[in-house]
Amino acid sequence: MNMLKHDLAYLPEDASRDAIIEIINAEAFGPGRHVRAAARIREQGPHDRSLSFVCDDRGETIASVRMTPVQAGGVRGHLLGPLAVRSSHKNRGIGRELVRIAIEAARRKGSEAVILVGDPPYYGPLGFEKVAFKALEFPGPVDPARVLVAPFTPDVHERLKGVIAWRE
């Protein structure tokens, strides 16, 4: 397929992208996506569009990452996800770049940490570490080995203890 790096644009999300993002997430995660523990947190309140980004290829949206403000025990942070890249555009570094951009935006906004439920081998090189086993209580079943955090200060790990929920 003819896809060049300079055809790609990383842009903040806006409401005009909602329909295509829904399609991209449905394609990536399938019908079970709404019952996942992270999705239940996202149902508690809106995501933060100013920290959520899309990737366009020549004007067509082909990937998305969303960020939702959360209180996680004693930490005011952001939950990253869903992250999804269309099959046609996988393995070109787009997912990685979206994660980098979202983390940097959250840090600039004063977030204390970015938290997610995902594969450690993918997110480890992007700055994510395992959260202490079962330290965070999700509103649904979650694999504790997949709960990860990119902390912005050294004391985040010890304060990540308790319920994780949407916050204002």
Ligand X SMILES: CC(C)(COP(=O)(O)OP(=O)(O)OC[C@H]1O[C@@H](n2cnc3c(N)ncnc32)[C@H](O)[C@@H]1OP(=O)(O)O)[C@@H](O)C(=O)NCCC(=O)NCCS
Amino acid at 48: D
> Applying CB under 6 A, which part among 39-47, 66-74, 101-109, 114-122 lies near ligand X?
114-122
* Residues facing 115 on adjacent strands: 79, 149
**Residue from 39, 51, 85, 103 in contact with ligand X (CB under 6 A):** 85
**Residue from 40, 96, 161, 167 in contact with ligand X (CB under 6 A):** 96
Residue 119 or 158: which CB sits closer to ligand X? 119
**Residue from 33, 90, 100, 130 in contact with ligand X (CB under 6 A):** 90
119 in contact with ligand X (CB under 6 A):
yes
41 in contact with ligand X (CB under 6 A):
no
Whole-angstrom distance, CA of residue 153 vs CA of residue 13: 27
**Residue from 16, 30, 91, 141 in contact with ligand X (CB under 6 A):** 91
Nearest alpha-carbon partner for 140 in 56, 31, 40: 40
122 in contact with ligand X (CB under 6 A):
yes
The interface with ligand X within residues 149-168 (CB under 6 A) comprises: none
Q: Are 135 and 161 in contact (CB under 8 A)?
A: yes
Classify residue 127 as left (phi > 0), alpha (psi -120 to 50) or beta.
left
Q: How far is CA 155 from CA 63, 66, 147, in A?
A: 33, 25, 17
User: Cβ of residue 96: shortest distance to ligand X, in angstroms?
Assistant: 3
User: Alpha helices of 1-93 — where are they, by DSSP H?
Assistant: 18-29, 37-42
Binding site for ligand X (CB under 6 A): 28-29, 83-85, 90-96, 118-119, 121-122
